[in-house]
Amino acid sequence: MIPQKHGKIINISSLSSFIVNKYFHGGSYEVSKSALNMLTKVLAVEWAPHNITVNAVAPGYYGTQPNIDFFSKEAGLYEKVLEMIPADSHPMDVLRSGVSILGNVEPEGDFSNQKNAADRLLACLPSMLLYWHHFHTDGTRIDVETDDDSLAGHFLHMLHGKAPSELHRKTLDTTLILYAEHEFNASTFAARVITGTLSDMHSAVTGAIGALRGPLHGGANEAAMELVQKFSSAQEATQGVLDMLARKDKIMGFGHRVYTTSDPRNSVNKKMSKILADEFGDALLYEVSEAVEKVMWDEKKLFANADFFAATVYHFMGIPTYLFTPIFVCSRITGWTAHIMEQRADNKLIRPAADYIGPGLQAYVPIAERA
């Protein structure tokens, strides 16, 4: 993504478009083509009233019908596994295990099946997540089929047990687009490293989920929510963050390894957060978030990244905090799988060299004589 003047023009990276064209074969992969049109419309038309312009969009998460029957292949097996995962597990661990189970029951096999494997992952992730969530929070075994025609609508429908408002569907849709692909971030790189050994897609995605889980990467949106919820006024937030900075604490949702002046995704998330805060009738969380943003810029010249305002956006839609990072997975699966296919297309084992700087040769000590 390339930041543009005033942060009002969003360019989703040309890499994403390249990936669709190359690996989903542009026109010949009809769902991706329509996805591209659909996503362009979502961002360019629907957000135009909010002064956001879109130049190009990432493809992907409309890649399959979201209501593909996750449980169809092995009746009862997936439910059993999801029900056995402890209620106090982190849902990122649930997804990591869920993908691994999928790789056992529906192994990718030959790489010629890679698009099918990617489609199944895209379709199954929200279902496995929300089946587990409902089973362990309210004891219900939800139906993972809905009549929604978008993954965002399907997700919110399964979560809340009713079809979402158009505003909420569109908002979640937009965050999914913004999260879909982001070049060589840590989780994508992890997927590339695993793929480089010619391993299977489920192994690569399992590793990517593990990398995304950490608070320095995808986990930042959950940490950002926990931060803004601590404060009961903007003034308290300003002082609280100043104190944290004095203690050299990291403020989650700020800074970026690649961007240096702003994260272009943030201006979209921030506007959506304001719209939802007004709808929700809760000015506090938005004001606190703005206060944190201001003090971070004034004190450290650090800007909010995509995760910071995404946190309140999800919160205002009634999404529990512990599902924030898993939503990132449900979107980034498109980027990961495209990278996996790209790696395979011109593969080379990824194996960095290291300069050893530890102690030199040591005398062998028999085990019984070791301290």
- Among residues 200, 307, 315, 339, the one annotated as catalytic is 307
For the question of residue 339 being annotated catalytic, the response is no
Q: Which helix (H) or strand (E) is 213 found in, with range? A: none
Distance (Å, whole) CA 214 – CA 120: 25
Query: What six digits make up the tokens of 330?
Result: 């449900």
Contact region with ligand COA (CB under 6 A), list: 14-22, 136-144, 213-221, 281-289: 213-221
Residue 39 CA, chain-centre distance (Å), reads 17
Structure token digits, residue 18: 């390249």
Closest to ligand COA by CB, 150 vs 221, is 221
Return the residue of 108, 148, 290, 307 that touches ligand COA, per CB under 6 A: 307
Residue of the chain from 3, 253, 326, 335 that contacts ligand COA (CB under 6 A): 253
Q: Which of 134, 136, 160, 217 is catalytic?
A: 217
Residue 303 contacts ligand COA per CB under 6 A: no
86: nearest Cα among 77, 76, 97: 97
Candidates 59-67, 196-204, 304-312, 318-326 — which segment interacts with ligand COA by CB under 6 A? Answer: 304-312
Active site (annotated) includes residue 133:
no
As a whole number of Å, the CA-based R_g of the chain is: 22
Q: Half-sphere exposure of residue 99, counting CA atoms within 13 Å on the CB side?
A: 28
8 binding ligand COA? (CB under 6 A): no
Beta bridge partners of 53: 9
Mark 175-199 as b/e (b = at least 16 C-beta within 10 Å): bbbbbbbbeebebbebbbbbbbeeb
Residue 290 Cβ vs ligand COA, minimum distance, rounded to whole Å: 17
Of residues 225 through 244, those in contact with ligand COA by CB under 6 A are none
User: In angstroms, what is the minimal distance from the CB of 304 to ligand COA?
Assistant: 9
Rank residues 194 and 296 by Cβ distance to ligand COA and give the closer one. 296
Does residue 294 bind ligand COA (CB under 6 A)? no
Q: At closest approach, how far in Å is the CB of 289 from ligand COA?
A: 14
Q: Which residue's Cβ lies closest to ligand COA? A: 255
Distance CA 173, CA 60 (A): 12
| Residue 153 vs 253, nearer CB to ligand COA | 253
Residue 115 binds ligand COA (CB under 6 A): no
CB 210 within 8 A of CB 96: yes
171 near ligand COA (CB under 6 A): no
- Tally of CB atoms within 10 A around 114: 18
Cβ 211 to ligand COA, closest distance in Å? Answer: 12
Q: Which residue has the tokens 């960095």?
A: 352
Residues linked to residue 304 through DSSP beta bridges, in sequence order: 254
CB 289 within 8 A of CB 279: no
Structural tokens at position 2: 């390339």
Q: Which two tokens stand for residue 141?
A: 């075994």
9 forms beta bridges with 53
The residue annotated as part of the active site, out of 90, 134, 256, 282, is 256
Give every CB contact of residue 172 below 8 A, 6+ residues apart in sequence: 152, 155, 156, 164, 317, 327
Decide if residue 60 touches ligand COA (CB under 6 A).
Answer: no
State yes or no: residue 250 binds ligand COA (CB under 6 A): yes
Residue 289 is a binding residue for ligand COA (CB under 6 A)? no
Q: Answer yes or no whether residue 256 interacts with ligand COA by CB under 6 A.
A: yes
Of 164 and 255, the one with the shorter C-beta distance to ligand COA is 255
CB 220, min distance to ligand COA, A: 3
> Catalytic site residue 69?
no
| 254 binds ligand COA, rule: CB under 6 A | yes
Question: Residues, the chain, total?
Answer: 371
**Binding region for ligand COA (CB under 6 A) out of 91-99, 126-134, 141-149, 297-305:** 297-305
- What's the rounded Cα separation, in Å, for the pair 228 and 241? 10
- The yes or no reply on residue 252 touching ligand COA (CB under 6 A) is yes
Run of H or E residues at 90: none
Catalytic residue positions, numbered? 217, 256, 307
Query: Which residues of this protein are in contact with ligand COA, per CB under 6 A?
Result: 216-217, 220, 250-257, 300, 302, 305-307
